[in-house]
Structure 1
Amino acid sequence: MNRIVRGVAYVSVWVVIWGTVSSLMDWMLLTGEVYETASAGQAVTFIAYGAATVVLATRFSGRFLSESDSEAADQE
């Protein structure tokens, strides 16, 4: 797979993970009446989960974005 396509797919998957997890947590906090819609708490929730996602995506990137031995042999 082309390295650029793999990179775009990798980032796209992490954006979906971030959106899903932070939205579910936001829904739980809203239904639990911890904070109101469009409040600072809601912004902090999405920012915090975004930061956590960036950390995880950066840590796992070496496993998924490095070229495997078979792909490196194919390009030679």
Structure 2
Amino acid sequence: MERTLKGVAYVSVWVLLWGTVASLMDYVLLERELYAGGSFGQATTFVGYGLATVVLAWRFAPRFLQSED
């Protein structure tokens, strides 16, 4: 697979994972009324999961994006 296409696919998968996991956790926290929609808590949830996703994606990148040569 071309390196650029492989990189775009890699980032896309991580964005989907971040969005899915953060949304599921947000749903749970909203249902338990731990914070309201549009609050600082909700923003913190998405930013926190976003940062965690960036760290994980960065650490796993060498395994998936290495050259096939």
Scaled by the length of structure 2, the TM-score of the pair is 0.98
Q: Residue type matched to 1:60 in 2? A: F
What are the within-5 Å matches in structure 2 for residues 18-29 of structure 1? 18-29=18-29
- Bigger Cα Rg: 1
Q: Sequence identity, in percent?
A: 61
Measured after TM superposition, the shift of residue 19 of structure 1 is: 0.1
The list of structure 1 runs, each at least 4 consecutive aligned residues, that deviate by more than 4 angstroms after superposition, is none
Q: d(CA) in 2 for partners of 1:13 and 1:37?
A: 26
Match of 2:61 in 1: 61
Scaled by the length of structure 1, the TM-score of the pair is 0.89
Q: d(CA) in 2 for partners of 1:28 and 1:47?
A: 16
Give the count of matched residue pairs. 69
Could you report, residue by residue, the CA deviation over 1:15-70 in whole angstroms, capped at 9, with x for unpaired residues? 000000000000000000000000000000000000000000000000000013xx
1:40 equivalent in alignment to 2:40: yes
Point out where structure 1 has 5 or more consecutive residues left out of the alignment: none
